[in-house]
Structure formats: structure tokens, C-alpha cells
Amino acid sequence: MKLRQQLMLISAVAVISVMPAFAQVEKAAMKTTGISCGTCAAVSEVYLRQLAGIDKISISLSKEAIMVSYKPGAAFQPKQLRDALKKTDVGVVQLQISARGRLQEQDGKRFFVAGSDKFLVVSSADSPLVPANTTVAVEGILNDRLDPMQLKILSVKPVKQENR
């Protein structure tokens, strides 16, 4: 019986340790101001590449937009994104994220939890329904200047669970 309990504990720890890599902010798209030349874009990319967890960076000068993708398990830190861009006088006008996680209810409020990040869900009449306690992929507009950060969900897709 003791061996069985140990095996169950090891299995539970293994599943929990995989979860943060699965549930996380995967991409951040930023509408910006001040990134209209090749030099600003190149220098901004250098500063963004210095941030831990950044995988890919795409910059559109014509749209003044930046997209960053995160490595699996990487932490999402919007303040670091803003600070890196501020060094080149690039401002973030709007931040949109793509994330995998779950909707949870707490004290009558709805939160989207993606890895170690927790976002208060802001609803509007056209907000899609997010099922509770089901892993989903969402895209939404983020207000990271508030605590807790607020997320207006634009789209929701179910995520198929892999058999392990």
C-alpha cells in the first residue's frame, strides 16, 4: 500500500509540473506608438530579446505593432515588455494576449488563470461564454495597469486534453 501511495504522489507531482508549461500566456501583440523606422524597430528588438522567456519577435513598421511569442513555461511580464520598449521611446497603446488556461470563480468574480498569471475577466454584451474549469485557449485585450490585471476576452477555443 505504501508503494502505491508513493507512485500516486509521484504521478500527481509529474502532472502538476507539466501544467505551467501547458497553461500560460503564449503570445502578446502590442499596438505601439513611436516604432515607425527601421532603427527603432531594430533597437526595440534587441531590448526585447534580452527578456527571459521570449521566443520570437515580429515587428510591423507599417502597423506600428509588435508580436512576441513565449517559450513553453515562460513567465508573462507585461511591465518588462513596456520597460524594454520605453528605452527606445516606443509606447504601448494596446496589449492583446493569446493564452491557455482555465476560468475560475472566486468571491463572485471570474478569473482567467494561465499558469502563474491571474486575470480578472471583464464582460460585455458581446463577450463569448467561457466554460468554468475547462482548459481553453483565449484571445483578449489586457489592461495590465490595474491590479489584478483585467482581461476582456474576444475569443475562446476548447483545448483537447492529451492522453498522458
What is the predicted pLDDT for the residue at 2? Answer: 58
Q: What is the pLDDT of residues 73-108, one digit of tens each?
A: 999 999 999 999 999 999 999 999 999 999 999 999
Provide the whole-model pTM: 0.81
Percent of the chain residues topping a pLDDT of 90: 70
Q: Are 82 and 90 in contact (CB under 8 A)?
A: no
Percent of the chain residues topping a pLDDT of 70: 85
Residue 35 vs residue 29, higher pLDDT: 29
What is the predicted pLDDT for the residue at 124? Answer: 80
Burial 19-35 (b: 16+ CB within 10 A, else e): eeebbbbbbbbbebebb
What is the predicted pLDDT for the residue at 7? Answer: 46
What is the predicted pLDDT for the residue at 163? Answer: 52
- Cβ neighbour number for residue 85 with a 10 Å cutoff: 23
Structural domains present in the chain: 19-158 (3.30.70.100)
> Of 83, 57, 68, nearest to 27 (Cα)?
68
Burial class (CB in 10 A: 0-12, 13-18, 19+), 153: buried
Residues 6+ apart with CB under 8 A from 62: none
Q: How confident is the model at residue 162 (pLDDT cuts 50, 70, 90)?
A: low
